[in-house]
Amino acid sequence: MHSRELAELFLRKSRQDEFVLDKLISDPTSPDEVIGFHAQQAVEKMLKAVLALRAVRFGKVHQIGHLLALLHKNNVAYPSEFEELDQLTPFAAELRYQDLLAASGRSFDRVWVREMISRVKAWAESVLRGTGTE
């Protein structure tokens, strides 16, 4: 699969997580861990779309911080606020299988999550269109 095709595939797959997120995010009975998982997955796939477009190898990693570091290392500029997205990384596995969020006393800001996903999506799509800042 060519770089552009793989990048477009990652964006399409990210939209599936975004779809689930949009269905559940406003429902207060939806567990934060489920919202966090789909948010993490959407962001991960959006970042991988840009890396794939640039033919940067990233492996089967689920750490947002690592993906951001790869973007930086390969001179792909992104908004500095994206560094905050690494707080979603634990939702990929750790919080998926353990009930640590409630025990930690951490709050989960669904509004921030939705806003950031919209920003990452807009950024990734602009990079794929060739209009992104780099």
Please give the model's pTM, rounded to 2 decimal places. Answer: 0.89
> Do 20 and 113 contact (CB within 8 A), yes or no?
no
Q: At what angle do helices 32-53 and 64-73 cross, to 10 degrees?
A: 20
- Which whole-number Å values give the CA distances from 122 to 10, 61, 95, 103, in the listed order? 14, 23, 27, 34
Domains of the chain, each with CATH number or no CATH: 3-129 (1.20.120.330)
For residue 96, which of 88, 106, 107, 104 has the smallest C-alpha distance? 88
With 80 as the cut, is the pLDDT of residue 91 above it? yes
Q: Which of 17-21, 40-44, 51-55, 58-62 has the lowest mean pLDDT?
A: 58-62
Over the chain, what is the mean pLDDT?
89
The tokens 């861990």 sit on which residue?
33
Instruction: Identify whether the C-beta of residue 52 lies closer than 8 Å to the C-beta of residue 3.
Output: yes
Q: Report, as an integer, the average pLDDT of 76-81.
A: 96
Is pLDDT at 2 greater than 70 in this prediction?
yes
pLDDT for residue 134: 46
Q: Residue 85: is it exposed, middle or buried by C-beta count within 10 angstroms (0-12/13-18/19+)?
A: buried
pLDDT tens-place string over residues 51-72: 999 999 998 988 999 999 999 9
